[in-house]
Amino acid sequence: MSDAPNDIVIELKDVHKAFGAQKVLRGVHLQVREGTTLVIVGASGQGKSVILKHMLGLVKPEQGEVLVFGRDLTRIRAREVKEIRTHFGVLFQNAALFDSMTVFDNVALPLRERTKVGEERIRASVMEKLDLMDLLGAEDKYPAQISGGMRKRVGLARALMLNPRVVFFDEPTTGLDVHKSNEIYRLFHRTQQQLKYTAVIVSHDVPKIFKLADTVALLAEGVIQGCMSPEEFQLAENPLIREFVETTMGPIYSSDKEESILYETL
Amino acid sequence: MVQFLEKLGDQCLHLLEQLGRMGIFLFACLWCVVKPPYKIFPIIRQIHFIGSRSIFVIFFTGAFTGMVLGLQGYYTLRKFGSEGLLGSAVALSLIRELGPVVAALMVIGRAGSAICAEIGIMRNSEQIDALECMAIDPYKYLMAPKFVAGVLSMPLLTALFDVVGILGGWLIGVVLLGINEGTYFQAMYASVEWQDIKMGLVKSLVFGLLLIWIAAAKGYFLHFERGGGFGAEGVSRTTTDAVVLSSVAVLLWDYLISAIML
Ligand SMILES: Nc1ncnc2c1ncn2[C@@H]1O[C@H](COP(=O)(O)OP(=O)(O)OP(=O)(O)O)[C@@H](O)[C@H]1O
Ligand SMILES: [Mg+2]
């Protein structure tokens, strides 16, 4: 983790994006360093998923640059974008599983399409990943036949299949029970130690997700309000960050009295 | 007035944009068809879906088209005292025109609509984005097998349609209305030339390409549809559009190819 500029894997420079009249991003600056985990937090509908889609090259900004491995996704050719994406592992917010394929085929797809591995090896590594996600027994079901949390985990298994260099997880633990989400966090921690991947995670699971984060960024009002370590984040001066920290982990739960006041005023 | 012109211009621009998009789409798909690696299994699956499973409907429409041709042709030709030419009339109209066109319309109804809906739903639920993010080319993975299968299946289905149709005409003309069997087939041998069969073949190839192209592109660009291709309704509207558009395109190209080749 030196300051050498070449260990920045992803960099957003002054990214603006509007959908029709609605300005979603108004100058987002963000850097992700190699091997670190960036957690993006913020209220629902602020544009966290949109930031992720910019990093994936699925959405083009109106203004600004999106640099991945030092190359500007908006300027390079489709073939180069594809080459960059071979290093990605992505979990979409809605998991985006292929709904006419079984769970097994979903997880096996990257191996089948991108490598020349034989069917036996594919079977072994898919089963290993499914086991890791506690999904054994569901491999022959279709996405419509499994629960929402299971879909998330299938998406995770698929994202981690080809040992990516950069992973993007959009709300990996939303819809999972506490035990499962703890399990997933442990898994992230372990795999990241092994594979040393860079991670960008969008999550509402504050403060638990902070344990995983090297950097936390709050998106509010179309800009990143601060990009800092979790410890600094919790003590930051910025009023929006203070407000976020207080509502998510702050004094609301400290006394019963305050809570009842909160309910009465609602 | 100004408003009208503005609207007209807007529509024209939209149309041009759509045409350009679909043109690029076609080239990208064809490029992916010829680009290695080649995978045979997805193509077989698509041939099964587009081709084999259309056989039943092609068989029936072919038989009835031939039977109607036999019936109508017989009474028309009898006025001129030339019932003997029935075989030639049935065979030529089937091979040149009705075979390719009706078979294409049936395949549009069966497979074209299904392809459009399938791709449209994948677009809608971000499955195509997911493919792209996994560095799997949707053109290669989804489209190329469909194009190959469409272009391979259509001539075969058309040939089946023609044969069944000719037999249908025989059933009505010879068995039911009592034309001499030898005359029926002799007239056919005498009048059908390689030229006619070539025309039917060219048409069926072009129609195969056309119907897959329109169905796949409509589904793929669902999110660019006017009024938004959202949700179940968006998919259904786009699928209807695709069916109408490809039927019209088939008839249009039928005329063009006939005009060029005759
Ligand atoms: N394709 C699109 N077309 C129009 N508007 C869009 C589109 N995608 C996103 N938006 C808008 O951008 C805003 C941000 O959406 P986004 O999905 O990024 O929110 P989010 O921060 O991920 O919220 P959540 O935490 O609920 O997932 C929303 O107001 C949404 O309406
Ligand atoms: Mg989101």
pLDDT in tens, A3-54: 445 688 999 999 999 998 899 999 999 999 998 999 999 999 999 999 999 9
Put simply, whether A147 touches B (Cβ < 8 Å) is no
Which residue has tokens 């085929």?
Answer: A105
CA distance A157 to A110: 11
Q: What CATH number has the domain spanning A1-87+165-173+187-233?
A: 3.40.50.300
The domain locations on chain A are 1-87+165-173+187-233, 94-163
Q: Tell me what ipTM this predicted complex has.
A: 0.86
Measured between alpha carbons, how far is B120 from B220 in angstroms, rounded to an integer? Answer: 6
Region B156-172: mean pLDDT is 94
Q: Which one of A100-109, A203-212, A247-256 scores highest in mean pLDDT?
A: A100-109
Determine, for residues B129 and A83 on separate chains, whether the beta-carbon distance falls below 8 Å.
no
Which helix (H) or strand (E) segment holds residue B221: the answer is none
Beta carbon of A44 within 6 Å of any ligand 1 atom? yes
Mean pLDDT, chain B, whole residue set = 92
Q: How far apart are CA A158 and CA A164, in angstroms?
A: 11
Whole-number Å distance, alpha carbon A43 to ligand 2 midpoint, is 9
Interface touch A113/B141, C-beta < 8 Å: yes
- Type of residue numbered A142: Y
Could you tell me the end-to-end alpha-carbon distance of chain A, in angstroms, rounded to an integer? Answer: 46
Q: What is the pLDDT of residue A254?
A: 43
Token output for A115: 């490598």
* Separation CA B225–CA B26 (nearest Å): 18
A114 lies within 8 A of chain B by CB: yes
- What residues does each domain of chain B span? 43-261
Q: Check CB contact under 8 Å for B133 and A82.
A: no
How many angstroms separate the CA atoms of B160 and B162, rounded?
5
**Distances in Å between the alpha carbon of B123 and those of A231, B109, B120, B131?**
41, 21, 5, 10
Least Cα distance to A109 among A117, B36, A200 occurs for: A117
Say how many Å lie between the CA of residue A202 and the centre of ligand 2: 8
Q: Which residues on chain A are in Cβ contact (under 8 Å) with B134?
A: 85, 88, 90, 109-110, 113-114, 158
